[in-house]
Protein backbone atom coordinates (compact mmCIF):
# COMPACT_ATOMS: atom_id res chain seq x y z
CA UNK A 1 0.00 0.00 0.00
CA UNK A 2 1.34 3.39 -0.97
CA UNK A 3 1.89 6.07 1.62
CA UNK A 4 1.35 8.84 -0.94
CA UNK A 5 -1.41 9.90 -3.30
CA UNK A 6 -1.20 10.63 -7.00
CA UNK A 7 -1.75 14.04 -8.56
CA UNK A 8 -4.06 13.73 -11.56
CA UNK A 9 -5.53 17.17 -12.21
CA UNK A 10 -3.85 19.45 -14.77
CA UNK A 11 -4.45 22.44 -12.50
CA UNK A 12 -2.28 20.84 -9.79
CA UNK A 13 0.55 20.25 -12.26
CA UNK A 14 0.34 23.85 -13.49
CA UNK A 15 0.26 25.25 -9.94
CA UNK A 16 3.46 23.40 -9.11
CA UNK A 17 5.07 24.55 -12.32
CA UNK A 18 4.41 28.22 -11.59
CA UNK A 19 4.78 28.44 -7.80
CA UNK A 20 6.88 25.45 -6.75
CA UNK A 21 10.58 24.98 -6.21
CA UNK A 22 12.52 23.09 -8.88
CA UNK A 23 15.58 20.85 -8.84
CA UNK A 24 17.19 19.01 -11.75
CA UNK A 25 18.92 15.62 -11.51
CA UNK A 26 20.36 13.53 -14.36
CA UNK A 27 17.29 11.24 -14.44
CA UNK A 28 14.42 13.57 -13.58
CA UNK A 29 13.29 17.10 -12.77
CA UNK A 30 11.43 17.57 -9.50
CA UNK A 31 8.98 20.41 -8.88
CA UNK A 32 7.91 20.72 -5.26
CA UNK A 33 5.46 22.78 -3.24
CA UNK A 34 5.34 22.38 0.54
CA UNK A 35 2.39 23.29 2.75
CA UNK A 36 3.53 22.31 6.27
CA UNK A 37 0.20 23.34 7.83
CA UNK A 38 -1.66 20.73 5.80
CA UNK A 39 -2.42 17.26 7.17
CA UNK A 40 -2.73 15.86 3.65
CA UNK A 41 -0.43 12.98 2.70
CA UNK A 42 2.37 13.50 0.21
CA UNK A 43 0.98 13.92 -3.34
CA UNK A 44 3.12 13.04 -6.33
CA UNK A 45 2.49 13.45 -10.07
CA UNK A 46 4.56 11.88 -12.84
CA UNK A 47 5.23 13.13 -16.35
CA UNK A 48 7.09 11.55 -19.25
CA UNK A 49 7.14 13.46 -22.53
CA UNK A 50 7.01 11.98 -26.02
CA UNK A 51 10.66 12.96 -26.47
CA UNK A 52 11.51 9.87 -24.39
CA UNK A 53 9.88 7.46 -26.83
CA UNK A 54 6.64 5.60 -27.39
CA UNK A 55 4.01 4.72 -24.81
CA UNK A 56 5.84 1.60 -23.64
CA UNK A 57 9.02 3.57 -22.90
CA UNK A 58 7.14 6.41 -21.19
CA UNK A 59 5.18 3.98 -19.01
CA UNK A 60 8.39 2.14 -18.05
CA UNK A 61 9.91 5.47 -16.96
CA UNK A 62 6.87 6.31 -14.85
CA UNK A 63 6.85 2.84 -13.26
CA UNK A 64 10.50 3.22 -12.29
CA UNK A 65 9.84 6.68 -10.83
CA UNK A 66 6.82 5.40 -8.85
CA UNK A 67 8.92 2.56 -7.44
CA UNK A 68 11.63 5.08 -6.55
CA UNK A 69 9.07 7.13 -4.60
CA UNK A 70 7.82 4.01 -2.80
CA UNK A 71 11.38 3.34 -1.62
CA UNK A 72 12.11 6.91 -0.54
CA UNK A 73 8.80 8.04 0.97
CA UNK A 74 9.95 7.20 4.52
CA UNK A 75 12.44 10.08 4.36
CA UNK A 76 9.75 12.76 4.00
CA UNK A 77 9.62 14.76 7.20
CA UNK A 78 6.37 16.71 6.76
CA UNK A 79 2.88 16.25 5.41
CA UNK A 80 1.39 18.46 2.76
CA UNK A 81 4.13 18.08 0.14
CA UNK A 82 3.01 18.15 -3.47
CA UNK A 83 5.53 17.30 -6.15
CA UNK A 84 5.75 16.55 -9.84
CA UNK A 85 8.53 14.35 -11.16
CA UNK A 86 9.35 14.78 -14.85
CA UNK A 87 11.28 11.88 -16.39
CA UNK A 88 14.42 12.51 -18.43
CA UNK A 89 16.17 10.09 -20.81
CA UNK A 90 18.54 8.92 -18.06
CA UNK A 91 15.57 7.56 -16.05
CA UNK A 92 15.50 4.53 -18.36
CA UNK A 93 19.08 3.43 -17.87
CA UNK A 94 20.13 4.79 -14.47
CA UNK A 95 20.67 2.24 -11.72
CA UNK A 96 17.65 2.04 -9.41
CA UNK A 97 19.72 2.57 -6.26
CA UNK A 98 21.17 5.70 -7.83
CA UNK A 99 17.66 6.91 -8.76
CA UNK A 100 16.62 6.66 -5.11
CA UNK A 101 19.78 8.46 -3.99
CA UNK A 102 19.05 11.22 -6.52
CA UNK A 103 15.56 11.70 -5.10
CA UNK A 104 16.82 11.86 -1.51
CA UNK A 105 19.56 14.29 -2.58
CA UNK A 106 17.10 16.55 -4.41
CA UNK A 107 14.70 16.56 -1.46
CA UNK A 108 17.55 17.44 0.92
CA UNK A 109 18.53 20.31 -1.36
CA UNK A 110 14.92 21.54 -1.33
CA UNK A 111 14.81 21.32 2.49
CA UNK A 112 12.29 18.48 2.75
CA UNK A 113 14.43 15.71 4.28
CA UNK A 114 16.29 15.88 7.54
CA UNK A 115 20.05 15.61 7.20
CA UNK A 116 22.23 14.08 9.92
CA UNK A 117 23.02 17.58 11.25
CA UNK A 118 19.34 18.46 11.58
CA UNK A 119 18.46 15.18 13.30
CA UNK A 120 20.97 15.72 16.13
CA UNK A 121 19.97 19.35 16.76
pLDDT at 36: 73
79 Cα distance to chain centroid: 14
Burial of 86 (0-12, 13-18, 19+ CB in 10 A): buried
Tell me: the pLDDT tens digits for 79-95?
A: 788 999 999 999 999 99
The DSSP element (H or E) to which 105 belongs, if any, is helix 96-109
Domain 5-108 bears CATH identifier 3.30.230.10: yes
The domain spans of the chain are 5-108
pTM value is 0.87
Amino acid sequence: MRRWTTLRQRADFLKLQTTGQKWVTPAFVIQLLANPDSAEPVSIGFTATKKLGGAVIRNRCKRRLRAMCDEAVDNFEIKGIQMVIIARQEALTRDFVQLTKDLNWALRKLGMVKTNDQQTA
